[in-house]
Amino acid sequence: MKHPRRAAATVATAVLFVAVAFSLGQNQKPGSGASTTTSEKPLTPEQIAKKELTTRIHAPSPMPDRVILTWPSSETTTAQAVTWRTDTSVTAAVAQIALADPGPGVESGWRGYDPGKVKTVSARTTPLTTGLNIAHYHSARFTELRPKTRYMYRVGDGRNWSEWFQFDTPSPEPEPFGFIYFGDAQNAIKSLWSRVARGAYSDMPKAKFIIHAGDLVQNGADDADWGEWHSAAGWINGMIPSIPSPGNHEYGGKTGLTDHWRPQFTLPEDGPSGLAETCYYHDIQGMRVICLNSNEKVKEQTPWLEKVLASRPPSIRWTVITFHHPIYSTGKGRDNKTIREAWRPIFDRYNPDLVLTGHDHTYGRSGLMREDNLMTGSQVHSSSGTVYVVSVSGAKMYDLGDLPWTASKTANTQLYQLIRVDGDLLKYEARTARGDVFDAFELRRRSGGGNSLEERQPGGTDADRGRKYENAAAGAAILALIAVAVGWAVRRR
Ligand SMILES: [Fe+2]
Q: How far is the CA of 17 from the centre of ligand 1 (A)?
A: 33
Q: How far is the CA of 35 from the centre of ligand 1 (A)?
A: 25
Q: How far is the CA of 360 from the centre of ligand 1 (A)?
A: 7
Q: How far is the CA of 60 from the centre of ligand 1 (A)?
A: 28
Position 493 scores a pLDDT of 59
Tell me the residue type at 414.
Q
Domain with CATH 2.60.40 in the chain: 86-168
Position 15 scores a pLDDT of 42
Q: How far is the CA of 387 from the centre of ligand 1 (A)?
A: 20
Strands (E), 28-149: 65-70, 80-86, 94-99, 119-122, 124-129, 134-142
| Other beta carbons less than 10 A from residue 281's beta carbon | 26
Q: How far is the CA of 215 from the centre of ligand 1 (A)?
A: 5
User: Partners of 161 in the beta sheet?
Assistant: 156
Topology classification of domain 177-466? Purple Acid Phosphatase; chain A, domain 2 (3.60.21)
> CA 242, CA 66: separation in Å to the nearest integer?
13
Q: How far is the CA of 330 from the centre of ligand 1 (A)?
A: 12
| Other beta carbons less than 10 A from residue 134's beta carbon | 15
Q: How far is the CA of 189 from the centre of ligand 1 (A)?
A: 15
Position 33 scores a pLDDT of 32
Residue 196: name the closest of 182, 208, 178 by CA. Answer: 182
Instruction: Check: CB of residue 331 under 8 Å from CB of residue 391.
Output: no
Q: How far is the CA of 270 from the centre of ligand 1 (A)?
A: 25
Domain with CATH 3.60.21.10 in the chain: 177-466
Position 4 scores a pLDDT of 43
Q: How far is the CA of 259 from the centre of ligand 1 (A)?
A: 18
| pLDDT tens digits, one per residue of 34-61 | 333 446 789 999 999 999 999 999 999 9
- Those residues with Cβ within 8 angstroms of residue 340's Cβ, 6 or more apart along the chain or in another chain: 327, 328
Q: How far is the CA of 326 from the centre of ligand 1 (A)?
A: 10
- What's the pTM value of the predicted model, to 2 decimals? 0.85
> CA 230, CA 236: separation in Å to the nearest integer?
10
Task: List C-alpha distances in Å: 8 to 55, 100, 140.
Answer: 20, 39, 30
| Other beta carbons less than 10 A from residue 286's beta carbon | 20
Q: How far is the CA of 214 from the centre of ligand 1 (A)?
A: 7
Q: Which CATH architecture has domain 86-168?
A: Sandwich (2.60)
Q: How far is the CA of 446 from the centre of ligand 1 (A)?
A: 35
Q: How far is the CA of 127 from the centre of ligand 1 (A)?
A: 27
Q: Which residues of the chain have pLDDT under 70?
A: 1-39, 253, 372-383, 458-490, 492-493
- Residue 179's φ and ψ, nearest 5 degrees, are -145, 165
DSSP symbol at 352: -
Torsion of CA 359, 364, 370, 375, to 10 degrees: -100
Q: How far is the CA of 226 from the centre of ligand 1 (A)?
A: 16
| pLDDT tens digits, one per residue of 439-492 | 999 999 998 888 999 999 754 444 444 444 445 555 556 666 666 666 666 676
Separation of CA 355 from chain center: 15
Q: How far is the CA of 389 from the centre of ligand 1 (A)?
A: 14
- Would you mind telling me the total number of residues written for the chain in this entry? 493
Q: How far is the CA of 390 from the centre of ligand 1 (A)?
A: 11
> CA 457, CA 363: separation in Å to the nearest integer?
15
> CA 50, CA 73: separation in Å to the nearest integer?
41
Q: Exposure of 417 by Cβ count < 10 A (0-12 exposed, 13-18 middle, 19+ buried)?
A: buried
Q: How far is the CA of 295 from the centre of ligand 1 (A)?
A: 10
Position 384 scores a pLDDT of 76
